[in-house]
Structure 1
Amino acid sequence: MDDLIAAMASLTGSAAAPEVLGGDRGDVVVVRVGDVVAKALPADTDVVALRQRLETAGAHPELFVPPLGLHFVDDRPVTVWPYGTPVSQDDPDGAPWEESAALLAKLHALPVQGPVAGAPERIVRAIRALPPDLPHADVVLRAYEVLPSLDLNGRALIHGDWHLGQLVHTGSWRLIDVDDLGVGDPVWDLARPAALFAAGILPGDLWARFLGAYRETGGVALTTSEWDVLNIPAQAYVVQMAARALVSGLQAVEPLIEACRRIVTTHGTDHRG
């Protein structure tokens, strides 16, 4: 790992000491070196799709932090970016809910092109990584089993893994992390905050601010009553977040487990056979 970090740091052109960001993220390593960030992706990353995603980000600097380059270290693709100030975790009320909603609405209005977005596949990966013998894992796995099939219904360009951690300030708020950027149903970009709201974690006034700003900016995801289209993707993200919380040992997992129990009760039968 030290050799990888040193090689990533050398790509940034900075002499500052490297700092690993984000803790343990499995096959992904993010290193900050001064005002630059390098991100190493798994060796099996689809590089053709990654290049398309980087081109999209570079073409829309009003929405994305523009990439500085793509390199390879031991067959692993490494993307390089300007560093931006992340959203503070200490003041949820002061988080840029309206700004982020407007960015997503503008993203969803761009021409539909590029690879398939990665949203539902992230839920699948979280379930596969969940040891079945962990406490409450049976509840999470059962909630996943009773969900209807998840699909992207590609009709817009979407981020594919949006949450407030995918936003940084570099003069203005911009999106980061294009690893799942692509064609899909824009409702998936709203589904994680919807899941947090449904689980009782995100206060209703913050959810209303986010949703209102998305609609006011012309967002195309919600053509009917929001829960008609958000319900299943939001439930899927509840399952994903619960699985990840169990694996990482987060203390605040109980609201997500309770939400998974409600999903099982709501659907009743096994949709996955």
Structure 2
Amino acid sequence: MTHPVIEQLTALARESGGTGEAAVLYARGDVLVVRVGGVVAKAHRAETTDLPARAAVAAGHPGLLLPPIRVPDPVDGRTVSVWPAGEPVDPADPFGAPWEEAGRLLARLHALPVPAGLPPQGAPLRVREVLTRPLPDSPAARTILRAYATLPDVLEAPGTARLVHGDFHLGQLVRCGGGWRLIDIDDLGHGDPVWDLARPAALFAAGVLPDEVWSRFLHAYLSAGGTDLGPDPWARLDIPAQALAIQTAARCVSKAVDEGRTLNEYETTLIDACDRISSSRNA
């Protein structure tokens, strides 16, 4: 695979100490990630903003967030960054993933002061962006859009603002330097910390994540000093979890069409969850 941006990212990685062959780790939309040995270079979404401020937070907390090697000037107008490579969670074993460590990392993140000038966290905006793009017309897409139409106009009401990752899922964990670190700071900002718990909550509610795994994650988060969710955590989690379930389902439908295949079992389960969301609201 050759592309001018791949070549430029490869050069950036090599300038930062990367050796060996270049490998494309991720290429979807306008996001591109290239690894060269122990160094990863990333071209971010075209609409990415405030990356230096977000990278400064990561650099200041290297035991929590993976610190950047550098954030160079834009390349051909693209925001780029360079990072040490880490060992990701095994996608073939999500139930054996470090869920407790993830909960503890998020609790530590949410306890940090919010630096001045940091923008709002990106999760609610990303939900809107994904669901306002055209979806391929299909029964699954219509189910997703019906569920989306039931969400409130304001996904995140003003209130407690903590430091929030903004796009947490298992793919945002890597092992580096002897421990697990959070990566991908594109949506790091201030907001309601329940959004960082909402994707695991959505997978649990959809029937994808077993009760035992969800309980381990939530217990580890709360035991490590995470934000108090009150006597009924779902009073806080419900809307963000539903929003991210709908967003994830929409991405699954688009990906399946791009790959020319039918929906798999995991994706069908999320579509079924969307159907339950709209049915419960319209009952």
Q: TM-score range by the shorter chain?
A: over 0.9
1:103-114 matches, within 5 Å, as 103-113=105-115, 114=118
Shift of the 56–152 alpha-carbon distance from structure 1 to 2, 3 Å rule, reads farther
Moved more, 7-16 or 105-114: 7-16
Match of 2:31 in 1: 28
Determine the C-alpha separation between the residues in 2 that align with 1:43 and 1:201: 32
Match of 2:206 in 1: 199
> Alignment partner for residue 119 of structure 1, among 115, 120, 123?
123
8 Å CA contact 1:152–1:184 kept in 2: the answer is: no
Match of 2:102 in 1: 100
8 Å CA contact 1:86–1:168 kept in 2: the answer is: yes
Opposite residue 271 of structure 2, the aligned amino acid is I
Match of 2:161 in 1: 155
Determine the C-alpha separation between the residues in 2 that align with 1:2 and 1:111: 41
Shift of residue 254, structure 1, vs aligned partner: 1.5
Determine the C-alpha separation between the residues in 1 that align with 2:65 and 2:228: 20
Shift of residue 133, structure 1, vs aligned partner: 1.1
8 Å CA contact 1:194–1:234 kept in 2: the answer is: yes
Which residues of structure 2 form unaligned runs of 5+? Answer: 257-262
Shift of the 173–206 alpha-carbon distance from structure 1 to 2, 3 Å rule, reads same
Shift of residue 7, structure 1, vs aligned partner: 0.7
Match of 1:131 in 2: 135
Opposite residue 9 of structure 1, the aligned amino acid is T
Match of 1:75 in 2: 77
> Alignment partner for residue 143 of structure 1, among 143, 147, 162?
147
The DSSP-based 3-state class of the residue aligned with 1:240 is helix
- Residue by residue over 1:132-156, the C-alpha shift from the partner in whole angstroms, topping out at 9 and shown as x without a partner, is 5133111101100111131263510
1:38 aligns with 2:44: no
8 Å CA contact 1:36–1:81 kept in 2: the answer is: yes
Determine the C-alpha separation between the residues in 2 that align with 1:87 and 1:227: 27
Moved more, 113-122 or 151-160: 151-160
Match of 1:7 in 2: 8
Shift of the 53–221 alpha-carbon distance from structure 1 to 2, 3 Å rule, reads farther
TM-score normalised over the length of structure 2: 0.90
Opposite residue 6 of structure 1, the aligned amino acid is E
Determine the C-alpha separation between the residues in 1 that align with 2:95 and 2:268: 23
Shift of the 221–4 alpha-carbon distance from structure 1 to 2, 3 Å rule, reads farther
Shift of residue 128, structure 1, vs aligned partner: 2.3
8 Å CA contact 2:48–2:186 kept in 1: the answer is: no
Match of 2:259 in 1: none
Provide the alpha-carbon RMSD of the alignment: 1.5
Shift of the 42–95 alpha-carbon distance from structure 1 to 2, 3 Å rule, reads closer
Task: Provide the aligned length of Structure 1 versus Structure 2.
Answer: 266
